[in-house]
Amino acid sequence: MAQKLKFEEKTIVPNSFYHITIMMLYSFLEYVRSRRFFILLLITIAIGMLLTGVVAYYRPQSFLVSEQSFYANWWGETVTFIIILSAVFFGGDAISGEFQNKTGYFLVGNPIRRSSIYLGKFLAAFCGALIMLLVFTAMTIGNGLYYFGGVTNLFWESLSFSVLYLATAIGMTFFFSSIFKTNSTAIVVTIILMLFVFSLMQSLVANLAHYEPWFIVTYGAQIINNVLMNPYPPSTQTTAAPLPHGQSITVTSYNATVPEGLIIMIGYFIVSLVTGLILFEHKEFN
Amino acid sequence: MTLPSLEAINLTKKYGSFTALSKLNLKLEGSKCVGFLGPNGAGKTTTLKIFTDMIRPTGGMALINGIDVNKEKKKALKSVGVLIETPEIYGSLSAREALSMIAEIKGISRASVRKSVEDVSELVKMKGLLNQKIKKMSKGMKQRINIAAAILGNPEIVILDEPTSGLDPRGMSEVRDIIKDLKKENRLIFMSSHLLSEVSEICDDVAMINHGKLLAYGPIEKIVEKFSKVGAVEVEVNLFRPVTGDTIDRLRNIKGVRSVKKVDSKTVLLQVIGGLKGQEEVLSRLVRIKLGIVGFKQSSSALEETYLSMFKETV
């Protein structure tokens, strides 16, 4: 190779905000071209199609009694699942992959703060997951318009809570992904926690300990569905369930109010994002 | 103009009870290539990773151009090209996109990104494959892109950890040529390698490390002379006339030549004392006595012999 170096650039290292946008742009490209993006898109569309088919064929009363109940049943029950799935798909290995796949070696040695890499990737994952949410939103609204000719204002409220929950869920998956160095561990732990452990803990704390599970994120996320209920469920509700031989059991259910739900989700978002960032800052490429 | 520099001051890295680096003190300065040698686990990659913020030191400082990389990373690494181990690149990006990302991170202006990317990819013979997705590339092709990324922005310091790893012989030769080209301008290259012939060919100085401690640092011929068993540098001399008994006798009588060994009909190995100056004197005498000398170069095995004698006890 006889060719001589001929390039002569003068470089001025950009500020961290610009670095974040660079990382976001290229990570987003990586996300949207990945196979998992198309798989998730197919899953989201399949869920929407399934609901469309079921409602069109069986015409369930619970869905079609009112516009609000339609959105509560269609959206409220399903969207949290799509959010968690999207968060896991895009965030599960976002940070652990930098170590296991060695992509971090390509980036970290450059004049860029690790926090810029982390935040850029977070925003890219959020944008990718937002596409899924918007696809499902479009299918929901399409059906809502078909059956009721409009969209209740409460739906927009619920949608905004969903966007917040999406950011929180991705923040949490990034946090778990920062703890582990292998992708499979990060993804499995995130799925188990987000889909099962939090819900289980919430039930146990509320029903057995009779304590409001205000510290569990899935409890806060209930406002996505609750806001579509008419009337909004009371914050504490005690009901006596009959048992054989004339006995009964008292069941207490708790519902976060909208401000409580927002505080819980924002709290989780901030704590998980900051702790994940700190973990990534101090993690070593061994 | 200040010279590019890398400096380790009492650099220490511990993993529990294991000490990977033990108060390493090393200062590299100026436009040259420094080979970083040592057996596996000696602390080479640990040192390079500390200089590139991939790991944090337990103690001490890693300074690049006088700036602590641990405290002011962006400032310290602003004119540094880095290739540590064999990095992977986001597979869905094309080579052009991957290099553009690094170019933008390094601060190459948007207007120059395209040209810079094309220039470096031409150097590593990847210009025709710039639009190919990384995931469809072989290990060797990816390593070329990694090298291109490291030299983007024309850095004044280049840190390379086994840069020819994963390349075929032709690729290795091309990378060596790139590094030689990089040396020509005011640039400091710090390169670890297990290929001693590669280090002999490219580097001016070597730093030898073992058990996290610096054993030696200096120009190759001085290290070879100081640490080789015979205390001399081995020089290969090629003649266009056949080597006879008389030729060997005449060579033995040259001042500064400690011993002479016939390699083949037209090649001899001389053990020369007196460092570079000694070599220069021997060469001028060789020319003067008209033996028909057509080649005179330090044996590439000299460094290897020195290395082996220094690290013979290391498993």
DSSP string, B116-179: HHHHHHHHTT-GGGTTSBGGGS-HHHHHHHHHHHHHTT--SEEEEESTTTT--HHHHHHHHHHH
Cis amide prior to A231 (ω within 30 degrees)? yes
Total residue length of chain B? 315
What pLDDT sits at residue A1? 43
Residue A112 to residue B74, Cβ atoms within 8 A: yes
- For chain B, residues with pLDDT lower than 50 are 315
For residue A89 the two structure tokens come to 């798909």
CB B251 within 8 A of CB B268: yes
CB B70 within 8 A of CB B61: yes
End-to-end CA separation in angstroms for chain B = 44
The answer as to whether A112 is a domain residue is yes
Q: How far apart are CA A226 and CA A223, in angstroms?
A: 5
What pLDDT sits at residue B185? 75
Interface residues of A toward B, Cβ cutoff 8 Å, are 1-9, 11-14, 19, 22, 26-27, 29-30, 33-34, 101-114, 282, 284-286
Residue A109 to residue B55, Cβ atoms within 8 A: no
Exposure b/e, A6-20, CB count within 10 A at least 16 = b = ebebebebbeeeebb
Domain B228-310 grouped into CATH 3.30.70.980? yes
User: Closest chain A residue to B104 measured between Cα atoms?
Assistant: A22
The answer as to whether A10 is a domain residue is no
3-state secondary structure of A210: coil
Phi-psi region of B210 (alpha: psi -120 to 50; beta: other; left: phi over 0): beta
Residues of B in Cβ contact (< 8 Å) with A5: 123, 151, 154, 181-182, 184-185
Percent helix, strand, coil in chain A, to 5, is 70, 5, 25
CA angle A258, A264, A269 (to 5 degrees): 125
Residue A11 to residue B78, Cβ atoms within 8 A: yes
Question: Which residue from A3, A26, A113 is facing B93, i.e. has the nearest CB?
Answer: A26
Asked if B281 has any chain A CB less than 8 Å from its own CB, the reply is no
Q: Which amino acid is at B297?
A: K
The answer as to whether A23 is a domain residue is yes
Question: Which residue from A7, A112, A114 is facing B105, i.e. has the nearest CB?
Answer: A112
Residues of B in Cβ contact (< 8 Å) with A4: 181, 184
Residues of A in Cβ contact (< 8 Å) with B108: 9, 11
**Cα atoms in the Cβ-side hemisphere of radius 13 Å centred on A148:** 16
Domain ranges of chain B: 5-219, 228-310
The CA distances from residue A119 to A172, A260, A276, B101, in Å, are 13, 26, 10, 16
Which residue pairs from A254-258 have beta carbons closer than 8 angstroms and sit at least 24 positions apart in sequence?
A254/A206, A254/A212, A254/A213, A254/A219, A255/A222, A255/A226, A256/A214, A256/A219, A256/A220, A256/A222, A256/A223, A256/A226, A257/A223, A258/A223, A258/A226, A258/A227, A258/A232
Residues of B in Cβ contact (< 8 Å) with A14: 104-105, 107
What pLDDT sits at residue B167? 80
CB neighbour list of residue B69: distance below 8 Å, 6 or more residues apart = B50, B51, B52, B53, B62, B63, B76, B77
Q: Which CATH architecture has domain B5-219?
A: 3-Layer(aba) Sandwich (3.40)
CB B233 within 8 A of CB B61: no
Residue B93 to residue A6, Cβ atoms within 8 A: no
B42: DSSP letter = S
Question: Which residue from A1, A26, A33 is facing B101, i.e. has the nearest CB?
Answer: A26
Range of the domain at A60: 17-282
Q: What residues does B210 pair with on adjacent strands?
A: B213
User: Closest chain A residue to B117 measured between Cα atoms?
Assistant: A7
Burial of A253 (0-12, 13-18, 19+ CB in 10 A): middle
Identify the residue among A18, A38, A110, A118 best suited for mutation to test binding to B, counting B beta carbons within 10 A and taking the highest.
A110
Question: Which residue from B75, B84, B107 is facing A11, i.e. has the nearest CB?
Answer: B107
Identify the residue among B53, B69, B94, B187 best suited for mutation to test binding to A, counting A beta carbons within 10 A and taking the highest.
B53
Question: Which residue from B56, B80, B154 is facing A8, i.e. has the nearest CB?
Answer: B154
- Nearest CA among B148, B141, B134 for reference residue B92: B134
The CA distances from residue B148 to A7, B121, B137, in Å, are 12, 6, 15
3-state secondary structure of A40: helix
Residues of A in Cβ contact (< 8 Å) with B78: 11, 13, 111
Total residue length of chain A? 286
User: Closest chain B residue to A31 measured between Cα atoms?
Assistant: B92
Q: What is the complex's ipTM, to 2 decimals?
A: 0.87
Mean pLDDT of chain B: 88
The answer as to whether A127 is a domain residue is yes
Q: Which amino acid is at A153?
A: N
CA distance B219 to chain A (A): 25
Q: What is the count of structural domains for chain A?
A: 1
**Please, what is the angle between helix A35-58 and helix A79-91, to 10°?**
170
Q: What residue ranges in chain A does DSSP mark as E strands?
A: 236-242, 248-254
Residues of A in Cβ contact (< 8 Å) with B185: 5
Q: How many CB pairs under 8 A join A and B?
A: 135
Burial of A71 (0-12, 13-18, 19+ CB in 10 A): buried
The number of helices, as runs of H, and strands, as runs of E, in chain A is: 14, 2
pLDDT by residue, tens only, chain A of 286 residues: 445 555 455 678 889 999 999 999 999 999 999 999 999 999 999 999 999 999 999 999 888 999 999 999 999 879 999 999 999 999 988 999 999 999 999 999 999 999 999 999 999 999 999 999 999 999 999 999 999 998 999 999 999 999 999 999 999 999 999 998 888 888 898 889 888 899 899 888 888 888 899 999 999 999 999 999 988 999 888 887 788 877 877 777 899 999 999 999 999 999 999 999 999 999 999 8
The answer as to whether A226 is a domain residue is yes
